[in-house]
Structure 1
Amino acid sequence: MERTRIAVAGSSGLIGSALVRSLTADGHQVVRLVRRAPRGADEVRWDPERGRVDTAGLAGCGAVVNLAGAGVGDRRWTEEYKRRIHDSRVHGTAALAQAVAELDERPRVFVNGSAIGIYGETGDRVVDESAPAGHGFLPELCVEWEAAAAPAQQAGVRTVFTRTGLVVARGGGAWGRLFPLFTAGLGGRMGDGRQYWSYVSLHDEVAAIRHLIDRDDLSGPFNLTAPEPLTNREITAAMGRVLHRPTLFTVPAPVLRAVLGEMAGDVLGSARVVPKRLLESGFTFAFPGIEDALRAA
């Protein structure tokens, strides 16, 4: 990909910060969307909840990437926090998509974050991008989240939805919480351990996003997950092997529900999601296996 100007919303998050580092290292000019007054030419002001974007700051961008939103796993899902999760994603996406559509010179691509939570509970059934949305808070949120990008699509901008799985990284997300527990020898399976977890290394997540930015022939939803999902029991065993720690502890499902509330359904639920379209596009995973992904983290 030739060097270009790329706008990134959510640049301080786990995935966003890694993406910015990768793009900058290769000589691209990255413009960060920030909620405060800009401190330099590489920042653009926006207010996602109120639907405001400094459109002028996006001028000349060849790509706009939206990874912004309140963390789904950051805290217990109270009704107030669920509204915050919803508004930060749906309103933010709508504002950015509208800003992209209004530019005189539009970017080549609008990459909008999404999640494999759109499929809901899949049990042992393998699902790819052709599967319908599930039911519940997360699937319904993801459907609305992706639909909010309509202004960019209607304006003729190639639009990509990155349906991300559980990112294997020390710096945040689910594994940001798991690593300290397992390192201390307190790790173990959750519930019966038979639920599938669809994971992806942070390296492959960033590489996949860049692949989707570069390829002008790719649009629509793409699952960003490793090729072979594993059960929580299998991942627990792998964590023990890589970190050389026992994995004797088990967190019973009732305890998880008592501690996490509604969010426990996401931890105990099974999502056996595969990246069919990503593989068909020729993308190669650097860390396809769980032990490789854990060591990379």
Structure 2
Amino acid sequence: MFHGLSAFPLTPMSEVGINEKEYELLIQRLVSAGVDSIGALGSTGNYAYLSRIERYRVLKIAVDTAEGIPVMASISAIRTLDVLRLAEDAQKAGASAVLLAPVSYQALTNEEVYLLYEQVTQSLSVPLCVYDNPSTTHFHFSDELHGRIAELPHVRSIKIPGVPSDPEAAKQRVSSLRSLIPPSVKIGVSGDPFAFTGLNASCEAWYSVLGGLFPKTCLRMTRLSLNGHADEAERISARLEPVWSLFRQYGSLRVASAVAEISGLVSSPSLPLPLLPLDLSAREQLKSILADIQTMEGS
């Protein structure tokens, strides 16, 4: 479950509602590529902009369309009571795992975050992935806190936000975290620009935004990295650097939305207000990049 490429698709939506057919087609694209797992309702999946009913509907579509590929569902919410309800919904919908970030309007303490995971894991019957996403939550996990949470029942993965760019520093960072968690808890890298370095620093999984759009390319890079073919994987990552640069500049969600629209995978608009699409100059820049990625995806 927590190994290889976990692809996180966009949830295409507008003020009219969720485009369920387009979402189903995005899931089918991942199934055809043979991704290792699917991350529904992640940050790219717009979970924070959806009601509980909408989240259940999106997850049910993902599970029903996945043809047996494991689906991990975000259950993040501001209030613990809502997280518990979403966890119940995820299990009812058939999710194979849940993903939880410590989202809050008020700044959380370490003890508050620990208690959140403690309460949630008590009611679970599926594995949980800890979502460490400080750029969104503004909460910074210490490795010691990760170690405490990793001892809780059902915790099976940590989705780290990235690794240092220096390969040796990346290996040390992953090794330091691994020394504090049980062997049953796997480490996955997110933040697509860090993917190659993280995988080659012994992360077991890549939780990928771009994998939700170009799964064949990202799956190839993942498997090359995990099978020791670092040079070939690095060449793919280098070709993707123009996209990584746009991710850094505009954020992965807006870029993913624009990629999906330009590629004809979803209609426009595909983001909920108040989020706005990339401006015209950025979209033109993206168009010039996509031809190379689409070539890789088709090869």
TM over 0.5: no
Task: Please say which structure displays the higher CA radius of gyration.
Answer: 1
Q: Which has the higher strand share?
A: 1
Q: Which has the higher helix share?
A: 2
TM-score (norm 2): 0.32
